């Protein structure tokens, strides 16, 4: 794994861990995700959605997903609804980026550099990205309306400081079986300083596609 991928994983593990509002008692929430065989699962997207209808939504961000050495860099981003993403191509070859995902359909015709404006993502869901020229290129955008979100680290854990309340915890991984896509649990974060939940997948991950390029979700 390259240093840049490790840096993005470290960033993804804490991305979206928004601080609770002033005056609201906070607790540390720890979500651990395991594969079916019990081993820790790295790179899983975790979203903690408040069941309080008055809870604030996460603020949109401006993100960047580059194209380097015929890979998306980073290859997975978690962003709040309403965010924008710029897709520069600093590679030595041209790319043509597209998505046919229901959450966002778009296409950026063959280009290098940064000729196109940022793409706006206004609907929650998973957006799968590809390149019409290089079939081996794949990337993901997970667009969420959850106030707390991020990715698990090498221990399979994601941690955030959250306000007390009741949450619905959802996880997603590019290689999860379709039957696992709705794996969700409800959790109450009470007066204690820490709340924890461990989720274990019921089925093995789908086989990884043959590729000589590592991904941040490789297991």
Taking the C-alpha atoms of residue 46 and residue 53, their distance in angstroms, rounded to an integer, is 20
Q: Please list the residues that pair with 27 across neighbouring strands.
A: 162
DSSP letters of 80-103?
Answer: ETTEEEE--B-SSS-EEEEEEETT
Given this model, what pLDDT does residue 19 score? 44
pLDDT grade for 193, boundaries at 50, 70 and 90: confident
Q: Are strands 138-144 and 26-34 parallel, antiparallel or unpaired?
A: unpaired
pLDDT higher than 80, residue 166: yes
Burial readout 72-110 (b: 16 or more C-beta within 10 A, e: otherwise): bbbbbbbbbbbbbbebbbebeeebebbbebebbebebee
Closest CA to 8 of 216, 154, 152: 216
pLDDT grade for 209, boundaries at 50, 70 and 90: confident
- Mean pLDDT for 137-144 is 96
Taking the C-alpha atoms of residue 58 and residue 74, their distance in angstroms, rounded to an integer, is 21
pLDDT grade for 25, boundaries at 50, 70 and 90: low
pLDDT grade for 21, boundaries at 50, 70 and 90: very low
Domains, the chain, in order of start with CATH, read 1-58+149-202 (2.60.40.10), 62-145 (2.60.40.420)
Can you tell me whether residue 143 is helix, strand or coil? strand
pLDDT higher than 70, residue 68: yes
Q: What is the pTM of this model?
A: 0.85
Q: What is the longest distance spanned by two Cα atoms in the chain?
A: 55
Q: According to the per-residue pLDDT averaged within each range, which of 85-94, 172-181, 196-205 is highest?
A: 85-94
């Amino acid at each position: 794994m390259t240093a840049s991928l490790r840096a993005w994983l470290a960033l993804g593990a804490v991305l979206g861990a928004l601080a609770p509002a002033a005056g609201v008692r906070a607790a540390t929430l720890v979500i651990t995700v395991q594969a079916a065989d019990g081993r820790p699962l790295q790179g899983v997207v975790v979203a903690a959605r408040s069941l309080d209808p008055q809870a604030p939504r996460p603020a949109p961000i401006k993100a960047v997903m580059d194209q380097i050495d015929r890979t998306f860099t980073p290859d997975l981003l978690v962003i709040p609804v309403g965010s924008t993403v710029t897709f520069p191509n600093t590679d030595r070859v041209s790319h043509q980026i597209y998505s046919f995902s229901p959450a966002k359909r778009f296409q950026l015709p063959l280009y290098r550099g940064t000729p196109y404006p940022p793409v706006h993502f206004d609907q929650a869901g998973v957006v799968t990205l590809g390149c019409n020229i290089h079939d081996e290129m794949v990337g993901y955008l997970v667009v969420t309306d959850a106030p707390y979100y991020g990715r698990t680290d090498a221990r399979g854990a994601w941690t955030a400081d959250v306000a007390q309340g009741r949450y619905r915890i959802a996880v997603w991984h590019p290689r999860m079986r379709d039957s696992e896509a709705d794996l969700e649990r409800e959790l109450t974060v009470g007066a204690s300083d820490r709340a924890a939940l461990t989720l274990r997948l019921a089925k093995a991950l789908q086989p990884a596609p043959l590729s000589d390029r590592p991904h941040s979700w490789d297991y």
